[in-house]
């Protein structure tokens, strides 16, 4: 019992210390009261952007997806990496997006972790997986859309879309 109380206290303290973006209250469109609007300043690669939030530029890493590397200084460009980066640019470059976090707000590199939607309601994380530009990357406790992403990946793989048709996986 004591462990449970301690765990709940830690979880509550972490939630209260989070500040910035909040992960609760998102509706299915991602436009809920706790979603944050941001302007995309630059696309880093297929799954990372720089967005202006409240006058400050933030590196934002998409939750639940992983695209092939295209800019890592110590790694070669991977198959479909440049295509994934171009697709991300097509979807979000210069646009206003809505960001929503999950349980954890930041990764170990200090990047903001977010689900990203564009003005027309398209869910960018899901769109990248659906079209074969990304694979799923489930890192608990940020798992809100993991099942949806897995289903989209199965569909893309079966259809040979994107990297599933162009790269050996």
Give per-residue pLDDT as tens, 26-68: 444 555 556 999 999 999 999 999 999 999 999 999 999 999 9
Give per-residue pLDDT as tens, 113-127: 999 999 999 999 999
pTM: predicted TM-score of the whole model, two decimal places: 0.79
pLDDT number for residue 12: 35
Q: Which residue of the set 26, 58, 61, 105 is catalytic?
A: 61
Asked if 153 contacts 129 with a C-beta cutoff of 8 angstroms, the reply is: yes
Q: Which residue of the set 87, 111, 117, 127 is catalytic?
A: 111
Could you confirm whether 93 is annotated as catalytic? Answer: no
Of residues 3 and 109, the one with the higher pLDDT is 109
Q: Which residue of the set 69, 87, 105, 127 is catalytic?
A: 69
pLDDT number for residue 74: 79
| Apex 89 CA angle, 114 and 162, nearest 5 | 90
Q: Convert the chain into a string of H (helix), E (strand) and C (coil).
A: CHHHHHHHHHHHHHHHHCCCCCCCCCCCCCCCCCCEEEEEEEECCCCEEEEEECCEEEEEEECCEECCCCCCCCCCCCCCHHHHHHHHHHHHCCCEEEEECCCCCECCCCCEEEEEEECCCCEHHHHHHHCCCCEECCECCECCCHHHHHHHHHHHHHHCCCHHHHCCC
Could you confirm whether 158 is annotated as catalytic? Answer: no
Cα 145 to the center of its chain, rounded Å: 10
Asked if 113 contacts 61 with a C-beta cutoff of 8 angstroms, the reply is: yes
pLDDT number for residue 79: 81
All domains of the chain, ordered by start, with CATH?
19-166 (2.40.50.90)
Could you confirm whether 61 is annotated as catalytic? Answer: yes
């Amino acid at each position: 019992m004591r462990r449970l109380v301690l765990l709940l206290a830690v979880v509550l303290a972490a939630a209260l210390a989070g500040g910035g973006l909040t992960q609760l209250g998102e509706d299915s469109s991602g436009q809920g009261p706790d979603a944050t609007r941001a302007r995309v300043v630059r696309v880093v690669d297929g799954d990372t952007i720089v967005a202006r939030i409240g006058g400050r530029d933030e590196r934002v890493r998409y939750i639940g997806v992983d695209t092939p590397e295209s800019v890592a200084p110590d790694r070669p460009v991977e198959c479909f990496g440049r295509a994934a980066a171009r697709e991300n640019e097509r979807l979000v470059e210069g646009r206003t997006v809505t960001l929503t976090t999950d349980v954890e707000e930041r990764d170990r590199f200090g990047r903001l972790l977010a689900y990203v939607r564009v003005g027309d309601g398209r869910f960018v994380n899901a769109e990248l997986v659906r079209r074969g530009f990304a694979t799923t990357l489930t890192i608990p406790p940020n798992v809100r859309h993991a099942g949806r992403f897995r289903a989209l990946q199965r569909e893309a793989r079966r259809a040979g879309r994107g990297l599933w048709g162009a790269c050996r996986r």
